[in-house]
Amino acid sequence: MPLDGALARLCPADEAIFFYIAVCTAWLKRSTPRTIVIGGAAGALPPVIGWAAATGELGPKPLILFLIIFLWTPPHFWALSLNRSENYCRAGIPMLPVVAALPATTRQILIYSALLVPTSMLPWALGFAGTIYGVAAAIGGAVLVVLALRLRRASDADRRPAHRLFAFSIVYLFALFAALLVSNGGDRWSTMPAATAALNTVGSLQVEPAARSVRIALGSISLSREV
């Protein structure tokens, strides 16, 4: 599909901005605890936008990158909201930890984390990402699931597992798409624009401060213990 046709028919950037501001922020955030899931679609669009702008067409490859960010969003934000539930409650925002019990929230975090692992391996499995990406996705996904399991088993009073998962999720996504860039430096599939656009979705996050927390999270994982 030509570039003009792709952007004229889909207008992904304009739709993402409109959806996030008018639908997600102004309406869904105060009406449903699933706003993170629904609004995650807008936040996951940058790879699609970058791909369409660079190649003039859409296909399964940018949609897989979209799906990776879409599945990453709920564990990331629900882990954060577990330690900020009082603030959301006072603001009248029905985040999942506010309206559901801790076990329900941690179960959803574990489900999305588990779904993210095989999805993140698809670029390598389908041949449009190299070995570096495959290794990064496998290791990062395993750590993410272990942290989600630790959070699932944590007590209500222990806020450290949620903080560790949140901090690691920031670096996880950044490292995943950085690995995609590195492993496809000269690749014919040209995933560079989409990966760069995806990296920009986490570019505003405080990755360096979070990295200190991630080192603590990784140190807390004992591979010799049964998960």
Listing DSSP states for 10-58 in one string gives H-HHHHHHHIIIIIIITTGGGT-TTHHHHHHHHHT-HHHHHHHHHHS--
Q: Is residue 128 within 8 Å of residue 191, measured between CB atoms?
A: yes
Contact 194, 65 (CB under 8 A): yes
End-to-end CA distance of the chain: 47
Tell me the pTM: 0.72
Which is nearest to 123 in space by CA: 136, 109, 139?
A: 136
Each residue's pLDDT, cut to its tens digit, for the chain (227 residues) gives: 444 444 444 455 566 666 666 666 655 666 666 777 777 777 788 888 888 777 777 788 889 999 999 999 999 988 988 887 776 667 677 777 777 778 888 999 999 999 999 999 999 999 888 899 999 999 999 999 999 999 999 887 788 999 999 999 999 999 999 998 888 764 544 455 555 555 555 444 444 444 444 443 444 444 334 44
Q: How is the chain split into domains, by residue range?
A: 3-219
